[in-house]
Amino acid sequence: MKIIVFLLVCITGLVGCANPPLPKVDKTKNALEGVKTITIIRPREPREYTVMNFYDPGFVFGTMNLEVSVSASKYWQLALTQLITQQNFSFADSLTHTMVQRFKQAGYEVSVQDGPWVEDDGRYTLSYADITSDADAVLVIAPTIMGFVSPRDAAGYAPTVTTVMTLLGKDHQTPLYKGYLATGWKPSEEGWQHAYSTKTFPNFEAVVANPDQAVASLKQACNAIVNLAAQQILY
């Protein structure tokens, strides 16, 4: 089995088109029985952080010049990525470290692996069969969005992280849990577990003008994702 990590923007879905429920797997009561050791597969660092604006009325009513919008978004993403790099912030490190601490606090022995991620045309794939851990369980962290998003129903940019977390058994095939977690902007598909951001920026210029606050808000977003995961996996 492979997990594929990429961002696919479907305009009709973003403006309210019905989407099928996500194939999540809820943790059963005894799923962690006998589990003492856990390996966390560290996510890949994004090549570019995400900037998206769904608040523009032109997006909803079909009057937006998509070519201009995509060009602007690309420019913003490059600017955000440069800002984050200059601040020495690593999304992958922040999310992984916080997740490790939560599992350790719960009494588990935790190790971290980079994992056998393979990049193909901007997409990352990971074959469960290639995972070499001998731990009792393996947690695969697969982010899809990391950055700032302006939702359709509110002005301002919210620090946003969306990710799929899959907890596999010792055989690396049986999913003990699979959750779709989001903070900031919430995708429209049924099944996302969501937490609202405590910090928003009035516009993207405010994000760039306040790099310390921008990075701090992304760290808070990582913490919110870990809290969502811990609530579902550990309790």
| pLDDT string in tens for the chain (235-residue length) | 555 444 333 333 444 445 666 888 888 888 899 999 999 999 999 889 999 987 655 444 444 443 434 456 788 999 999 999 999 999 999 999 999 999 999 999 999 999 899 987 767 889 999 999 999 999 999 999 999 999 876 779 999 999 999 999 999 999 999 999 999 999 988 999 999 988 999 999 999 999 999 999 999 999 999 999 999 999 8
**Does the residue 11 lie in any domain?**
no
**Does the residue 152 lie in any domain?**
yes
CA distance 120 to 118: 7
Neighbours of 88 (CB within 10 A): 8
What is the structure's pLDDT at 20?
62
What is the structure's pLDDT at 60?
44
- Please, where are the H alpha helices in 3-65? 11-14, 57-61
**Does the residue 187 lie in any domain?**
yes
What is the structure's pLDDT at 221?
96
**Does the residue 131 lie in any domain?**
yes
**Does the residue 52 lie in any domain?**
yes
Task: Dig out the tokens for 42 from the structure.
Answer: 């560290």
Domain of residue 110, CATH code: 3.30.160.150
**Does the residue 18 lie in any domain?**
no
Task: Dig out the tokens for 78 from the structure.
Answer: 């490059």
**Does the residue 125 lie in any domain?**
yes
Using DSSP bridges, classify how beta strands 37-41 and 109-113 pair: parallel, antiparallel or unpaired.
parallel
> Domain range spanning residue 204?
27-233
Global pTM? 0.84
**Does the residue 117 lie in any domain?**
yes
What is the structure's pLDDT at 128?
92
- Please, where are the H alpha helices in 64-184? 66-86, 91-105
- Number of compact structural domains in the chain: 1
